[in-house]
Structure 1
Amino acid sequence: MLVEVNLLPEKPKKNYTSILYAGAFLFLLLLAVLTTFLFQRHLTQEVQVVNDQVYNVQLESAQIRQELTGLEWTDAKQIETAAAAVEGQIIPASSVTSYIVSLLPERGFIQYFTYTQPHSILVDVHFDRLEEIAQYHEALESSSLTTSVRLSVIDSHEMLDDEQHDINFDEVKSRYLASFELTLDREEGRSLGDEQ
Protein backbone atom coordinates (compact mmCIF):
# COMPACT_ATOMS: atom_id res chain seq x y z
CA MET A 1 0.00 0.00 0.00
CA LEU A 2 1.04 3.42 -0.76
CA VAL A 3 1.13 6.11 1.82
CA GLU A 4 0.83 9.69 0.80
CA VAL A 5 2.77 12.21 2.65
CA ASN A 6 1.90 15.85 2.22
CA LEU A 7 4.78 18.09 3.05
CA LEU A 8 3.07 21.37 2.17
CA PRO A 9 1.84 23.41 5.05
CA GLU A 10 -1.89 23.27 5.61
CA LYS A 11 -3.81 26.39 4.62
CA PRO A 12 -5.75 27.89 7.46
CA LYS A 13 -9.54 27.97 6.95
CA LYS A 14 -11.03 31.42 6.63
CA ASN A 15 -13.43 32.38 9.36
CA TYR A 16 -16.42 34.19 7.77
CA THR A 17 -18.55 34.49 10.92
CA SER A 18 -17.02 37.80 12.06
CA ILE A 19 -17.52 39.28 8.58
CA LEU A 20 -21.08 37.99 8.57
CA TYR A 21 -21.78 39.57 12.00
CA ALA A 22 -20.23 42.87 10.92
CA GLY A 23 -22.28 42.89 7.69
CA ALA A 24 -25.52 42.13 9.56
CA PHE A 25 -24.73 44.89 12.07
CA LEU A 26 -24.04 47.41 9.29
CA PHE A 27 -27.26 46.38 7.48
CA LEU A 28 -29.36 46.82 10.64
CA LEU A 29 -27.66 50.15 11.38
CA LEU A 30 -28.36 51.36 7.84
CA LEU A 31 -31.98 50.16 8.10
CA ALA A 32 -32.45 51.98 11.44
CA VAL A 33 -30.98 55.22 10.06
CA LEU A 34 -33.17 55.00 6.93
CA THR A 35 -36.32 54.29 8.98
CA THR A 36 -35.56 57.17 11.37
CA PHE A 37 -34.96 59.53 8.46
CA LEU A 38 -38.23 58.53 6.71
CA PHE A 39 -40.24 58.77 9.94
CA GLN A 40 -38.77 62.21 10.73
CA ARG A 41 -39.59 63.40 7.20
CA HIS A 42 -43.17 62.11 7.51
CA LEU A 43 -43.63 63.86 10.88
CA THR A 44 -42.23 67.10 9.46
CA GLN A 45 -44.77 66.95 6.63
CA GLU A 46 -47.64 66.30 9.06
CA VAL A 47 -46.55 69.20 11.27
CA GLN A 48 -46.45 71.46 8.21
CA VAL A 49 -49.98 70.38 7.18
CA VAL A 50 -51.33 71.00 10.70
CA ASN A 51 -49.62 74.41 10.86
CA ASP A 52 -51.19 75.34 7.52
CA GLN A 53 -54.62 74.28 8.79
CA VAL A 54 -54.18 76.31 12.00
CA TYR A 55 -53.17 79.35 9.97
CA ASN A 56 -56.21 78.97 7.67
CA VAL A 57 -58.57 78.60 10.65
CA GLN A 58 -57.09 81.71 12.27
CA LEU A 59 -57.61 83.66 9.05
CA GLU A 60 -61.22 82.45 8.75
CA SER A 61 -61.99 83.28 12.39
CA ALA A 62 -60.54 86.77 11.94
CA GLN A 63 -62.73 87.28 8.85
CA ILE A 64 -65.82 85.99 10.68
CA ARG A 65 -65.11 88.26 13.67
CA GLN A 66 -64.80 91.19 11.30
CA GLU A 67 -68.12 90.34 9.62
CA LEU A 68 -69.88 89.83 12.95
CA THR A 69 -68.89 93.19 14.34
CA GLY A 70 -70.52 94.84 11.33
CA LEU A 71 -73.69 92.76 11.58
CA GLU A 72 -74.02 92.84 15.35
CA TRP A 73 -75.92 96.12 15.53
CA THR A 74 -78.35 95.34 12.71
CA ASP A 75 -79.06 91.86 14.08
CA ALA A 76 -79.76 93.22 17.55
CA LYS A 77 -82.27 95.72 16.17
CA GLN A 78 -83.95 93.00 14.07
CA ILE A 79 -84.23 90.74 17.12
CA GLU A 80 -85.73 93.55 19.20
CA THR A 81 -88.28 94.31 16.47
CA ALA A 82 -89.22 90.63 16.11
CA ALA A 83 -89.52 90.21 19.90
CA ALA A 84 -91.80 93.24 20.13
CA ALA A 85 -93.97 91.87 17.32
CA VAL A 86 -94.24 88.47 19.02
CA GLU A 87 -95.05 90.03 22.39
CA GLY A 88 -97.87 91.89 20.71
CA GLN A 89 -99.44 88.59 19.63
CA ILE A 90 -99.10 86.66 22.87
CA ILE A 91 -102.28 85.64 24.63
CA PRO A 92 -101.55 84.30 28.14
CA ALA A 93 -102.66 80.65 28.30
CA SER A 94 -103.35 80.78 32.03
CA SER A 95 -105.78 83.67 31.63
CA VAL A 96 -107.58 81.97 28.75
CA THR A 97 -107.79 78.69 30.66
CA SER A 98 -109.13 80.38 33.79
CA TYR A 99 -111.77 82.21 31.77
CA ILE A 100 -112.89 79.07 29.89
CA VAL A 101 -113.07 77.11 33.16
CA SER A 102 -115.13 79.87 34.77
CA LEU A 103 -117.82 79.36 32.10
CA LEU A 104 -118.16 75.62 32.87
CA PRO A 105 -121.22 74.27 34.71
CA GLU A 106 -120.79 72.95 38.26
CA ARG A 107 -119.93 69.34 37.34
CA GLY A 108 -118.26 70.09 34.01
CA PHE A 109 -114.54 69.64 33.62
CA ILE A 110 -111.93 70.00 30.88
CA GLN A 111 -110.25 66.79 29.80
CA TYR A 112 -108.05 68.14 27.01
CA PHE A 113 -106.84 71.66 26.17
CA THR A 114 -104.32 72.56 23.44
CA TYR A 115 -103.38 75.41 21.15
CA THR A 116 -103.54 74.35 17.49
CA GLN A 117 -102.48 77.73 16.10
CA PRO A 118 -101.48 80.96 17.81
CA HIS A 119 -105.13 81.96 18.28
CA SER A 120 -106.98 78.62 17.99
CA ILE A 121 -107.71 76.17 20.79
CA LEU A 122 -109.11 72.63 20.93
CA VAL A 123 -110.97 71.82 24.15
CA ASP A 124 -112.60 68.52 25.19
CA VAL A 125 -115.10 69.01 28.02
CA HIS A 126 -117.16 66.52 30.09
CA PHE A 127 -120.81 67.33 30.96
CA ASP A 128 -123.65 65.60 32.81
CA ARG A 129 -126.46 66.68 30.47
CA LEU A 130 -126.86 67.75 26.86
CA GLU A 131 -128.43 71.02 28.01
CA GLU A 132 -125.17 71.92 29.73
CA ILE A 133 -123.32 71.50 26.42
CA ALA A 134 -125.73 73.92 24.75
CA GLN A 135 -125.41 76.42 27.61
CA TYR A 136 -121.61 76.23 27.54
CA HIS A 137 -121.59 76.65 23.76
CA GLU A 138 -123.82 79.72 24.08
CA ALA A 139 -121.61 81.17 26.84
CA LEU A 140 -118.51 80.73 24.65
CA GLU A 141 -120.19 82.29 21.62
CA SER A 142 -121.44 85.30 23.56
CA SER A 143 -118.00 85.80 25.11
CA SER A 144 -115.89 88.66 23.77
CA LEU A 145 -112.81 86.41 24.03
CA THR A 146 -113.87 84.16 21.14
CA THR A 147 -114.44 85.16 17.53
CA SER A 148 -115.79 81.75 16.57
CA VAL A 149 -116.87 78.60 18.41
CA ARG A 150 -117.36 75.27 16.67
CA LEU A 151 -118.78 72.21 18.39
CA SER A 152 -117.19 69.35 16.47
CA VAL A 153 -118.09 66.17 18.41
CA ILE A 154 -120.51 65.10 21.13
CA ASP A 155 -119.93 61.63 22.50
CA SER A 156 -121.65 59.84 25.37
CA HIS A 157 -120.03 57.33 27.65
CA GLU A 158 -122.48 54.48 27.95
CA MET A 159 -122.40 52.07 30.87
CA LEU A 160 -122.13 48.42 29.87
CA ASP A 161 -124.27 45.77 31.56
CA ASP A 162 -122.12 44.04 34.14
CA GLU A 163 -123.66 41.14 36.04
CA GLN A 164 -120.80 40.88 38.53
CA HIS A 165 -121.68 44.19 40.20
CA ASP A 166 -124.93 45.05 41.81
CA ILE A 167 -125.49 48.42 40.09
CA ASN A 168 -128.83 49.98 39.37
CA PHE A 169 -128.24 51.43 35.91
CA ASP A 170 -131.43 53.47 36.06
CA GLU A 171 -129.78 55.69 38.68
CA VAL A 172 -126.46 56.05 36.81
CA LYS A 173 -126.29 59.05 34.51
CA SER A 174 -124.22 58.92 31.36
CA ARG A 175 -121.55 61.58 30.85
CA TYR A 176 -121.10 63.51 27.63
CA LEU A 177 -117.83 64.53 26.03
CA ALA A 178 -117.96 67.58 23.76
CA SER A 179 -115.09 68.80 21.58
CA PHE A 180 -114.93 72.53 20.87
CA GLU A 181 -112.74 74.45 18.45
CA LEU A 182 -112.30 78.05 19.60
CA THR A 183 -110.79 80.97 17.71
CA LEU A 184 -109.65 83.70 20.08
CA ASP A 185 -109.78 87.46 19.64
CA ARG A 186 -106.17 88.57 20.05
CA GLU A 187 -106.91 92.01 21.48
CA GLU A 188 -109.48 90.71 23.97
CA GLY A 189 -107.13 87.87 25.01
CA ARG A 190 -104.29 90.30 25.72
CA SER A 191 -106.56 92.61 27.70
CA LEU A 192 -107.79 89.58 29.67
CA GLY A 193 -104.15 88.74 30.47
CA ASP A 194 -103.46 92.33 31.52
CA GLU A 195 -106.41 92.32 33.93
CA GLN A 196 -105.11 89.26 35.75
Structure 2
Amino acid sequence: MLAEINLLPQKQKRDYTNLLIAASLIVIIITTVMIIVSLGNQKNKEISALEQEYTLAQKQTEVLQQQANQSNASSAVSELEKAISWSEKYPVDFVPILNELTKILPEKGYFYGLDYENSSSLNLLIQFESSREAAFYLSRLKELEILETVKLSTVETVTLQNEDETVPRYLATYQLLIDRTVLKAIQEEDNEK
Protein backbone atom coordinates (compact mmCIF):
# COMPACT_ATOMS: atom_id res chain seq x y z
CA MET A 1 0.00 0.00 0.00
CA LEU A 2 0.91 3.26 -0.84
CA ALA A 3 0.72 6.08 1.51
CA GLU A 4 -0.82 9.23 0.35
CA ILE A 5 1.06 12.27 1.23
CA ASN A 6 -0.50 15.57 0.57
CA LEU A 7 1.99 18.36 0.46
CA LEU A 8 -0.54 21.02 -0.37
CA PRO A 9 -1.45 23.19 2.52
CA GLN A 10 -4.81 22.30 3.92
CA LYS A 11 -7.57 24.75 3.56
CA GLN A 12 -8.50 26.17 6.86
CA LYS A 13 -12.15 26.11 7.67
CA ARG A 14 -13.53 29.56 7.88
CA ASP A 15 -14.93 30.73 11.17
CA TYR A 16 -18.30 32.33 10.42
CA THR A 17 -19.30 33.00 14.00
CA ASN A 18 -17.78 36.49 14.12
CA LEU A 19 -19.42 37.31 10.81
CA LEU A 20 -22.77 35.99 12.01
CA ILE A 21 -22.50 37.96 15.26
CA ALA A 22 -21.62 41.15 13.34
CA ALA A 23 -24.42 40.59 10.83
CA SER A 24 -26.97 39.91 13.55
CA LEU A 25 -25.81 43.05 15.45
CA ILE A 26 -26.19 45.12 12.27
CA VAL A 27 -29.66 43.69 11.69
CA ILE A 28 -30.65 44.42 15.30
CA ILE A 29 -29.28 47.98 15.09
CA ILE A 30 -31.01 48.65 11.76
CA THR A 31 -34.30 47.23 13.11
CA THR A 32 -34.02 49.30 16.28
CA VAL A 33 -33.28 52.46 14.30
CA MET A 34 -36.22 51.77 11.97
CA ILE A 35 -38.56 51.19 14.93
CA ILE A 36 -37.38 54.39 16.63
CA VAL A 37 -37.76 56.39 13.40
CA SER A 38 -41.25 54.98 12.75
CA LEU A 39 -42.33 55.69 16.34
CA GLY A 40 -40.94 59.23 16.05
CA ASN A 41 -42.84 59.79 12.80
CA GLN A 42 -46.01 58.43 14.38
CA LYS A 43 -45.62 60.76 17.38
CA ASN A 44 -44.94 63.71 15.06
CA LYS A 45 -48.13 62.91 13.13
CA GLU A 46 -50.08 62.72 16.40
CA ILE A 47 -48.60 66.04 17.52
CA SER A 48 -49.50 67.73 14.24
CA ALA A 49 -53.03 66.27 14.41
CA LEU A 50 -53.41 67.58 17.97
CA GLU A 51 -52.12 71.00 16.93
CA GLN A 52 -54.67 71.10 14.12
CA GLU A 53 -57.44 70.13 16.55
CA TYR A 54 -56.23 72.82 18.94
CA THR A 55 -56.27 75.55 16.29
CA LEU A 56 -59.70 74.36 15.12
CA ALA A 57 -60.98 74.45 18.70
CA GLN A 58 -59.57 77.97 19.15
CA LYS A 59 -61.31 79.15 15.99
CA GLN A 60 -64.58 77.57 17.10
CA THR A 61 -64.22 79.16 20.53
CA GLU A 62 -63.67 82.58 18.97
CA VAL A 63 -66.71 82.14 16.74
CA LEU A 64 -68.85 81.03 19.69
CA GLN A 65 -67.63 83.96 21.80
CA GLN A 66 -68.48 86.39 19.02
CA GLN A 67 -71.92 84.83 18.68
CA ALA A 68 -72.41 84.95 22.46
CA ASN A 69 -71.35 88.60 22.57
CA GLN A 70 -73.71 89.43 19.73
CA SER A 71 -76.58 87.53 21.33
CA ASN A 72 -75.83 89.12 24.72
CA ALA A 73 -75.75 92.54 23.13
CA SER A 74 -78.96 91.90 21.23
CA SER A 75 -80.67 90.40 24.31
CA ALA A 76 -79.45 93.31 26.44
CA VAL A 77 -80.83 95.75 23.87
CA SER A 78 -84.15 93.91 23.74
CA GLU A 79 -84.31 93.83 27.58
CA LEU A 80 -83.59 97.55 27.67
CA GLU A 81 -86.28 98.21 25.08
CA LYS A 82 -88.75 96.16 27.13
CA ALA A 83 -87.82 98.10 30.26
CA ILE A 84 -88.28 101.41 28.45
CA SER A 85 -91.67 100.42 27.06
CA TRP A 86 -92.71 99.15 30.50
CA SER A 87 -91.62 102.36 32.19
CA GLU A 88 -93.50 104.41 29.62
CA LYS A 89 -96.61 102.30 30.17
CA TYR A 90 -96.48 102.39 33.94
CA PRO A 91 -95.13 105.74 35.05
CA VAL A 92 -95.48 106.17 38.77
CA ASP A 93 -94.97 109.56 40.33
CA PHE A 94 -93.78 109.01 43.86
CA VAL A 95 -94.24 112.59 45.00
CA PRO A 96 -97.96 112.19 45.77
CA ILE A 97 -97.32 108.85 47.43
CA LEU A 98 -94.51 110.22 49.58
CA ASN A 99 -96.56 113.28 50.45
CA GLU A 100 -99.41 111.08 51.68
CA LEU A 101 -97.04 108.79 53.60
CA THR A 102 -95.20 111.67 55.31
CA LYS A 103 -98.41 113.55 56.24
CA ILE A 104 -99.50 110.74 58.53
CA LEU A 105 -96.03 109.97 59.90
CA PRO A 106 -95.70 110.62 63.66
CA GLU A 107 -93.51 113.47 64.86
CA LYS A 108 -90.60 111.21 65.81
CA GLY A 109 -91.05 108.67 63.02
CA TYR A 110 -88.44 108.51 60.27
CA PHE A 111 -88.24 106.80 56.91
CA TYR A 112 -85.51 104.18 57.09
CA GLY A 113 -85.95 102.59 53.70
CA LEU A 114 -88.27 102.36 50.71
CA ASP A 115 -88.18 99.50 48.19
CA TYR A 116 -90.13 99.72 44.97
CA GLU A 117 -90.87 96.13 43.94
CA ASN A 118 -93.08 96.61 40.89
CA SER A 119 -95.50 99.11 39.42
CA SER A 120 -97.81 99.02 42.43
CA SER A 121 -96.00 97.37 45.33
CA LEU A 122 -93.80 99.04 47.96
CA ASN A 123 -91.90 97.89 51.01
CA LEU A 124 -91.58 100.64 53.57
CA LEU A 125 -89.21 100.58 56.55
CA ILE A 126 -89.86 103.20 59.23
CA GLN A 127 -88.17 103.93 62.57
CA PHE A 128 -90.39 104.75 65.57
CA GLU A 129 -89.76 105.53 69.23
CA SER A 130 -92.41 103.08 70.45
CA SER A 131 -94.14 100.02 69.10
CA ARG A 132 -97.48 101.73 69.70
CA GLU A 133 -96.57 104.37 67.09
CA ALA A 134 -96.01 101.58 64.56
CA ALA A 135 -99.55 100.30 65.22
CA PHE A 136 -101.05 103.81 64.96
CA TYR A 137 -99.20 104.38 61.69
CA LEU A 138 -100.60 101.10 60.36
CA SER A 139 -104.15 102.22 61.11
CA ARG A 140 -103.50 105.59 59.42
CA LEU A 141 -102.05 103.82 56.36
CA LYS A 142 -105.18 101.70 56.08
CA GLU A 143 -107.28 104.86 55.96
CA LEU A 144 -105.42 106.23 52.91
CA GLU A 145 -107.37 105.97 49.65
CA ILE A 146 -104.18 105.69 47.61
CA LEU A 147 -103.32 102.33 49.19
CA GLU A 148 -105.25 99.21 48.26
CA THR A 149 -103.79 96.86 50.88
CA VAL A 150 -101.44 97.43 53.81
CA LYS A 151 -99.62 94.78 55.85
CA LEU A 152 -97.33 95.17 58.80
CA SER A 153 -94.63 92.56 58.14
CA THR A 154 -92.21 92.94 61.03
CA VAL A 155 -91.40 95.12 64.00
CA GLU A 156 -87.81 94.86 65.23
CA THR A 157 -86.24 96.44 68.28
CA VAL A 158 -82.97 98.29 67.70
CA THR A 159 -80.97 99.81 70.53
CA LEU A 160 -79.16 103.11 70.06
CA GLN A 161 -76.37 104.43 72.27
CA ASN A 162 -77.21 108.01 73.18
CA GLU A 163 -74.91 109.79 75.72
CA ASP A 164 -74.53 107.17 78.46
CA GLU A 165 -77.97 105.64 77.97
CA THR A 166 -79.38 102.98 75.71
CA VAL A 167 -82.50 104.05 73.84
CA PRO A 168 -84.71 101.46 72.15
CA ARG A 169 -86.02 102.20 68.69
CA TYR A 170 -88.43 100.15 66.61
CA LEU A 171 -88.09 99.39 62.91
CA ALA A 172 -91.41 98.51 61.32
CA THR A 173 -91.68 97.01 57.83
CA TYR A 174 -94.88 97.63 55.89
CA GLN A 175 -95.97 96.06 52.62
CA LEU A 176 -98.06 98.47 50.61
CA LEU A 177 -100.09 97.85 47.46
CA ILE A 178 -100.90 101.08 45.61
CA ASP A 179 -104.31 101.61 44.02
CA ARG A 180 -103.23 102.87 40.59
CA THR A 181 -106.61 104.32 39.66
CA VAL A 182 -106.66 106.55 42.74
CA LEU A 183 -103.02 107.49 42.10
CA LYS A 184 -103.81 108.52 38.51
CA ALA A 185 -106.76 110.57 39.74
CA ILE A 186 -104.50 112.38 42.21
CA GLN A 187 -101.91 112.97 39.51
CA GLU A 188 -104.56 114.41 37.17
CA GLU A 189 -105.78 116.74 39.95
CA ASP A 190 -102.20 117.90 40.52
CA ASN A 191 -101.73 118.48 36.78
CA GLU A 192 -104.90 120.59 36.59
CA LYS A 193 -103.65 122.80 39.43
Larger relative contact order, structure 1 or 2 (CA cutoff 8 Å, min sep 6): 1
TM-score, reference length from structure 1: 0.46
TM-score (normalizing by structure 2): 0.47
